[in-house]
Amino acid sequence: MWGGRFAAGPDAIMEAINASIGFDKRMAAQDIAGSRAHAAMLAATGVITDNDADAIREGLLTVLSEIETGKFEYSTALEDIHMNVEARLKEIIGEPAGRLHTGRSRNDQVATDFKLWVRDQFDAAEKGLLALIAALVDQAEAGADWVMPGFTHLQTAQPVTWGHHMMAYVEMFGRDLSRVRDARARMNESPLGSAALAGTSFPIDRDMTASALGFDRPTANSLDAVSDRDFALEFLSVASICAMHLSRFAEELVIWSSAQFRFVTLSDRFSTGSSIMPQKKNPDAAELIRAKVGRIFGANTALMMVMKGLPLAYSKDMQEDKEQVFDAADNWMLALAAMEGMVKDMTGNRESLAAAAGSGFSTATDLADWMVRVLKVPFRDAHHVTGTLVAMAEARGCDLPDLSLEDMQGVHAGITDDIFSVLGVENSVNSRMSYGGTAPAQVRAQVARWKEILNS
């Protein structure tokens, strides 16, 4: 491959450590698209003849169809997808194949191919996120007024609504969506024509190849272009944050579907059974999402480590970028789809949610707020009185609404019968009408806002 410079071929171990064809064949379509754009540009600028460009185009189409139909024979000796495609092109069209690599290097070629691949994955992530958000919005709409406990420290805090909880994840995945779009826009510059590192002396037209490949513009610095893997790192970072959200929700679904909680019933389609315990229905999809997130974080860290010590410009270390990104992308898309499927199919158990919503003194804050509002007691004092009443209820093994008016007046003489109107959970959630609060009316307003976003 290296012409006159080498007298001996590589050691078998050298070939094994050096070759990337085992994984970078996933970029075959991108490699051929990049080569077609490059060849057309070389002809347009007069660097190669139209006849050569035609032969190259036809040949590349043949190679592509061989790859798509599984007829292509990959060779480890040819290292990577770029050399494999070019070598086969040479077999098919002969001499003009040797002109394709004019004014480019594998360094700008691989950066271009990889960017095209990652760009497609950003688009797939956008689709996956939109579908998941739509499924969550549907759940929120159906249960906008279902009461459930809201937690802090996983201890009952205040009643919230099912719709509010679903919409919390809509906000998270909505930010992920905006990060996806943002990162995609930033990375959409073409490295092609940066050549090995310094640019080229041929009169190439980088705007032409950039626009043929759907890039917004060519990159502005050839050294940067061939050694930049920010786009892959941003992909992994965005994926990691989104995966963290997926994992938190997956964890909640695991807890919620347990016999102890019974907040949600996952569908059979997204659960598994046990080979020994006949009663079991396990939330495997949620557990696997939670686990796959670890791989995505790992990929992000791994590529950061690969890149952090590299001087400009290209170093072979950078070949290690692809497997990390491929694995993270596969698992991110799978996790998004699995979460969407689970959310679409799951049933919130309205009764269990409501029963849990009222337990654990969840309306204690409402009681304290009532004293502040009606009796004009300072909040800190109201907090103390309420705490005393909670301790009393706890000692008696009952909930706050089960205490009598006399009990309450024993702690604070000013309390009237009206207090019972705020101890109900429905009342509690309905009163949380501040913008972004848990009241069903607020939830419905957010559902409507998101439906508009999804339909635009």
What is the contact surface with ligand ARG in residues (CB under 6 A)? 20, 24, 80, 106-107, 110, 314, 316, 318-319
Tokens of 77: 């000796």
Told to judge if 164 belongs to the known catalytic residues of this protein, a careful annotator would answer no
Residues in contact with 164: Cβ distance below 8 Å, sequence separation at least 6, in sequence order = 140, 150, 437, 438, 442, 443
Compute how many other C-beta atoms are within 10 angstroms of the C-beta atom of residue 111. Answer: 27
Contact status, residue 219 vs residue 191, Cβ threshold 8 Å: yes
- Two structure tokens written together for 411: 């702690």
Backbone angles phi, psi at 31, to 5 degrees: -65, -40
Q: What is the smallest separation between the CB atom of 160 and ligand ARG, expressed in angstroms? A: 49
With contact defined as beta carbons under 8 Å apart, do 228 and 222 qualify?
no
What's the closest the beta carbon of residue 303 comes to ligand ARG, in angstroms? 13
Give the Cα separation of 251 and 164 in Å (integer): 18
What is the separation of C-alpha 125 from the centre of its chain, rounded to a whole number of angstroms?
A: 6
Cα–Cα distance between 263 and 255 in angstroms, integer? 9
Please identify, using beta-carbon distances, which residue of 45 and 315 lies nearer to ligand ARG: 315
> Exposed/middle/buried for 203, CB within 10 Å: 0-12, 13-18, 19+?
exposed
Q: Whose Cβ is closer to ligand ARG: residue 270's or residue 314's?
A: 314
Q: How far is the CB of 60 from ligand ARG (least distance, A)?
A: 18
Strand partners of residue 190:
218
Of 75, 178, 258, 274, the active-site residue reads 274
Cis-peptide into 313, omega within 30 deg: yes
- Count Cβ neighbours within 10 Å for each residue of 212-235 and write b for 16 or more, e otherwise: bbebeebbeebebbbbbbebbbbb
Q: Which is nearer to ligand ARG, 110 or 429 (CB)?
A: 110
Nearer to ligand ARG, 158 or 319 (CB): 319
Q: Give whichever of 160 and 225 is closer to ligand ARG, judged by the CB atom.
A: 225
* CA–CA distances in Å: residue 112 to residues 14, 244, 280: 26, 29, 49
- Which residue in the block uniquely carries the two structure tokens 């990652």? 118
Q: Is 245 a catalytic residue?
A: no
Nearer to ligand ARG by Cβ, of 44 and 78: the residue is 78
Positions of E strands within 24-163: 147-152, 155-161
How near is the Cβ of 109 to ligand ARG at its closest, in Å? 7
Q: Which is nearer to ligand ARG, 110 or 137 (CB)?
A: 110
Cβ distance 188 to 119 under 8 Å? yes
Closest separation between CB of residue 215 and ligand ARG, Å? 19
Let me know: does 76 contact 20? Beta carbons within 8 Å. no
Helix residue ranges per DSSP H, 218-283: 222-227, 230-256
Find the shortest distance in angstroms from Cβ 316 to ligand ARG: 6
Q: Find the shortest distance in angstroms from Cβ 52 to ligand ARG.
A: 24
Q: How far is the CB of 93 from ligand ARG (least distance, A)?
A: 23
Choose between 38 and 165: whose C-beta lies nearer to ligand ARG. 38
Question: C-alpha 17: how far from its chain's center?
Answer: 31
Neighbours of 297 (CB within 10 A): 17
Check 153, 201, 275, 456 and give the catalytic one: 153
Catalytic residues: 153, 274
